[in-house]
Structure 1
């Protein structure tokens, strides 16, 4: 699993109370097969942050872990429906609530649209 994390193209973008998780088509295929997609970032020897993404049978995403090791479980049915609509610039949006309103986290999950267009659109036939 460590090797898979080393070569992950999953991107985490964090700004205030917004978290965007973007994966490519290969990682989407792995998720849809029931595998866990992992990413690891080493901050110049000071510390390491590890994140994982998986599917779950629930209706809402869950976030667990600690500051340096996260786990996000996405609703499998929603991800499968999203995958059927690709390529798309629209992702799946959720609000994960906290104890207080200001702790709510906006979560956006999407698949790299450039990768999807390149892989899912059939080339135009030449005349």
Structure 2
């Protein structure tokens, strides 16, 4: 799982193995060690709600994505289009844009049997 953060934009990008685990009802977890300063943990799961949920603490995020939308997205692979959500923030702060996609290059390689 790749997590990219820039201002009020968070992008989650997974590969097809991680997608398979998600669709099977498992969580996908990752972490980043920021040198000797701290470690950040993040988990991704599917949920029945139609809107995504971001909970946790500054060093431990839990991201819940709408299961139906992820399954529909998986059925369209390979596609460059991902899922996009706007999550409300505190008053006076722009909404957080959450983007989710599956690595299209991995999808194409798997479907066409080509080497990386």
TM range (shorter): over 0.9
Q: Confirm whether residue 65 of structure 1 aligns to residue 31 of structure 2.
A: no
Matched residue, 1:115: 106
Look up the SS of the partner of 2:51 in the other structure: coil
Deviations for 1:68-93, whole angstroms, at most 9, x for unmatched residues?
Answer: 00000000000000000000000000
Provide the TM-score with structure 1 as the length reference.
0.86
The gaps in structure 2 that reach 5 residues or longer are none
Q: Confirm whether residue 76 of structure 1 aligns to residue 34 of structure 2.
A: no
Distance 1:121 1:101, change over 3 A: farther
Tell me, in whole angstroms, the C-alpha distance in 1 between the residues paired with 2:45 and 2:56.
Answer: 14
Provide the TM-score with structure 2 as the length reference.
0.94
Q: Confirm whether residue 56 of structure 1 aligns to residue 20 of structure 2.
A: no
Deviations for 1:13-46, whole angstroms, at most 9, x for unmatched residues?
Answer: 0000000000000000000000000011111121
The gaps in structure 1 that reach 5 residues or longer are 1-9
Q: Confirm whether residue 15 of structure 1 aligns to residue 6 of structure 2.
A: yes
Q: CA deviation at 1:99?
A: 2.4
Aligned length: 114
Hey, which bits of structure 1, 4+ residues long, moved more than 6 A? Answer: none
Distance 1:101 1:114, change over 3 A: farther
Q: Confirm whether residue 105 of structure 1 aligns to residue 96 of structure 2.
A: yes
1:55, 1:75 within 8 Å by CA — same for their partners in 2? yes
